[in-house]
């Protein structure tokens, strides 16, 4: 499996504080069947400064440590970039790393409680520069939880969507789980990733979430594609045939459109 969103680099953001914790995260990832992790430190959020050059160096250092530890985990560079003004320009200036440095895909993070007014234009600007934004964990955003129509419009515009493994299994709370399941049913999910920050509280695990997603979808092959086939295409900077999203689904007593 491929974990496309993981805060595994030590001492660069709110992930592991030191390399020993990064090693423990790597151990858990390998034990779970993960073979490739994209290191995605926070950036463009006015809190953490993690330009491309720094990420490349940190990935190289951690890869050397993991080899010494005998851990067969491939670490690739990337970033968890906060949606902001002049986003395409700042990526071109290497303030944020595209996934695997291929210049084709980047993780794009919304704030947890709002949708900035300029976000649609910024995401469209990325597409104009041949960069596909992958919207991270919208199921944990309070606005998206009740406005899946807006997320649908962003996918129609060419964005992709990544949800958190622990959201699918309920460990991020009921609201996030309900929204994650709704997104899966509406075929608005393209990547399942851990968004791991530690070896215990936010670990790099995917297998249980894939099982849960397969149950929600009634389709094990589609669930597996979100941690294998489609992330592999993203790593390679290639396009892939995503499922046609559904505008709405029938809900129980509450509505999200």
**Predicted pLDDT of residue 256:** 37
Q: What is the pLDDT of residues 15-57, one digit of tens each?
A: 999 999 999 999 999 999 999 999 999 999 999 999 999 999 9
**Predicted pLDDT of residue 249:** 56
In this model, does residue 254 exceed pLDDT 60? no
| Alpha-carbon distance values, 182 to 38, 144, 178, 179, 247 (Å) | 26, 11, 6, 5, 11
User: Which residue, chain included where needed, has tokens 């250092």?
Assistant: 61
- Which of 38, 155, 156, 12 minimizes the C-alpha distance to 97? 38
Contacts 24+ apart (CB under 8 A), 236-239: 236/100, 236/102, 237/100, 237/102, 237/103, 237/104, 237/105, 238/104
Between CA 36 and CA 40 the distance in angstroms is 13
Contacts of 210 (CB under 8 A, 6+ apart): 1, 165, 192, 223, 224, 226, 227
Q: What is the pLDDT of residues 190-221, one digit of tens each?
A: 999 999 999 999 999 999 999 999 999 999 99
Q: What is the pLDDT of residues 226-237, one digit of tens each?
A: 999 999 999 999
* 2-235: in CATH 3.30.300.160: no
**Predicted pLDDT of residue 252:** 42
In this model, does residue 76 exceed pLDDT 90? yes
**Predicted pLDDT of residue 248:** 72
Question: Model-level pTM?
Answer: 0.95
Q: What is the pLDDT of residues 79-115, one digit of tens each?
A: 999 999 999 999 999 999 999 999 999 999 998 888 9
Mean pLDDT rounded to a whole number for the chain = 95
**Predicted pLDDT of residue 113:** 86
- Parallel, antiparallel, or unpaired for β 191-193 and 160-164? parallel
């Amino acid at each position: 499996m491929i974990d496309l969103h993981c805060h595994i680099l030590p001492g660069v953001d709110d992930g592991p504080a030191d390399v020993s914790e990064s090693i423990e995260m790597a151990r858990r990832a390998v034990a779970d069947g993960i073979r490739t992790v994209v290191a995605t430190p926070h950036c463009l959020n006015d809190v953490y400064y993690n330009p491309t050059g720094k990420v490349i160096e940190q990935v190289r250092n951690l890869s050397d440590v993991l080899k010494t530890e005998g851990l067969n985990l491939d670490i690739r560079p990337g970033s968890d970039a906060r949606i902001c003004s002049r986003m395409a320009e700042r990526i071109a200036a290497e303030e944020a790393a595209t996934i695997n440095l291929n210049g084709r895909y980047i993780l794009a993070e919304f704030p947890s409680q709002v949708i900035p007014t300029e976000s649609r234009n910024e995401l469209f600007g990325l597409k104009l520069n041949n960069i596909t934004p992958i919207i991270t964990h919208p199921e944990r955003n309070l606005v998206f939880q009740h406005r899946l129509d807006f997320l649908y419009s962003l996918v129609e515009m060419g964005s992709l969507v990544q949800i958190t493994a622990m959201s699918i299994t309920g460990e991020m709370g009921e609201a996030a789980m309900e929204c994650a399941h709704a997104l899966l049913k509406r075929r608005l999910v393209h990547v399942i990733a851990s968004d791991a920050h530690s070896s215990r509280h936010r670990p790099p695990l995917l297998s249980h979430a894939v099982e849960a997603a397969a149950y929600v979808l009634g389709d094990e092959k589609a669930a597996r594609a979100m941690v294998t086939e489609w992330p592999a295409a993203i790593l390679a900077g290639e396009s892939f045939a995503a499922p046609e999203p559904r505008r709405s689904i029938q809900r129980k007593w509450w509505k999200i459109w």
